[in-house]
Amino acid sequence: MKNLSKKKLVFIALLAVFAIIVLAWLAPLQRTAGVHIVSDIGISQGAAENNSEMESVKVHGTVWNDGDIIAKNLTALVIFTEAAQNKIVRKNVPLGDLPPNKGQFMEFDSEYLRERTVPKTVVNVTVQFDWMENGQIKTTETLLSSGEPDSPDKGNNNAGKFIYGNATVESIEIMVLESFPVQIKVNARGYLPDGCTSIYEITKEKKDTTFFVNIKTVRPADTFCTQSLVPFQEVIPLDVYGLKAGIYTVNVNGVNSTFELGTDNIIQGR
């Protein structure tokens, strides 16, 4: 009986070890549900090639999708912010469709040229990724990085840094103007998270029968702000001239509505 009990204990122990090994093997295979954009980005700031009067800020990045579905129409938005002059330059880098499960690694580059400054000042760089997922525009949280000035106080000056994001939209209303060709405007209402955040850009894109509108925000980093919500209202015109008769969808930061054109929206030539 004792020998039988020992055999049972040994068998149970072996089963436990086997289970641990299987779990350890399966764990790395688990993927994040949906799209999960991961990136590795480097930034350099120095003299431009063959031009001593200009300075170059270069961004090189590698991006992949660690999720379980494809990221469609992935785009990298590289934003260069002049810390000393409060100047913002945006450069859009289309990347295409990014397969899931680390199926492909994409590389991208962006460069900003400016006149050299004395003393040297920092250009802050924000990289933001946008893509289509299940018919909606998705955006990563912004990656805020900056070079370091050549001074004893380098790294301690946060002036000129900004944080970018997307506005929270609560409702949209389609406004059809009584004219021909028909004019369509979208009345979007929502709120900003604090007193320092403002709307800095509204982008519009049409794909098939859907208009995608993205209201983007900006706020200074490392600034104390009132924490009360700030409501906003934006009236956004859509380019609907030349559209065929039919039903169209409008998506503003994930909130959807539709409108219908009874006839082709174009003036026929005589």
* DSSP H or E run through 2: helix 2-26
| Average pLDDT, integer, range 224-234 | 81
Q: What is the pTM of this model?
A: 0.47
Give per-residue pLDDT as tens, 119-148: 667 777 888 888 888 877 788 755 555 544
Q: Are 112 and 123 in contact (CB under 8 A)?
A: yes
| Residue 157 pLDDT exceeds 60 | no
Per-residue model confidence (pLDDT) at position 178:
79
Give the span between the Cα atoms of 70 and 103, in whole angstroms. 9
The answer on pLDDT for 155 being more than 70 is: no
Same-domain check for residues 67 and 141: yes
Pick from 29-33, 130-134, 183-187: least confident:
29-33
Query: Cα–Cα distance between 229 and 48 in angstroms, integer?
Result: 44
- The residues, ordered by sequence, that sit 6+ positions from 114 with a Cβ below 8 Å of its Cβ are 54, 55, 57, 82, 123
Q: Which of 109, 134, 163 is the last residue of a domain?
A: 163
For tokens 């939209």, name the residue.
169
Q: Could you tell me the residue range of the domain that residue 129 belongs to?
A: 33-163
CATH of the domain at 88: 2.60.40.10
Domain endpoint, select from 114, 142, 163: 163
- What is the distance between the alpha carbons of residues 11 and 63, in angstroms, rounded to a whole number? 46
Q: Are residues 125 and 55 in the same domain?
A: yes
222 and 262 belong to one structural domain: yes
237 vs 117, which has greater pLDDT?
237
> Is residue 157 in a domain?
yes
Please, where are the H alpha helices in 27-166?
Answer: none
Q: Which of 147, 163, 179 is the last residue of a domain?
A: 163
Given pLDDT bands bounded at 50, 70 and 90, which one contains residue 22? low
Per the DSSP assignment, residues forming a β-bridge with 232 are: 190
Structure tokens at 76: 């990298």
The tokens describing 6, both together, are: 């020992």
Residue 21 clears pLDDT 80, i.e. is over it:
no
- Using CA atoms, how far apart are residues 133 and 153, in angstroms rounded to an integer? 43
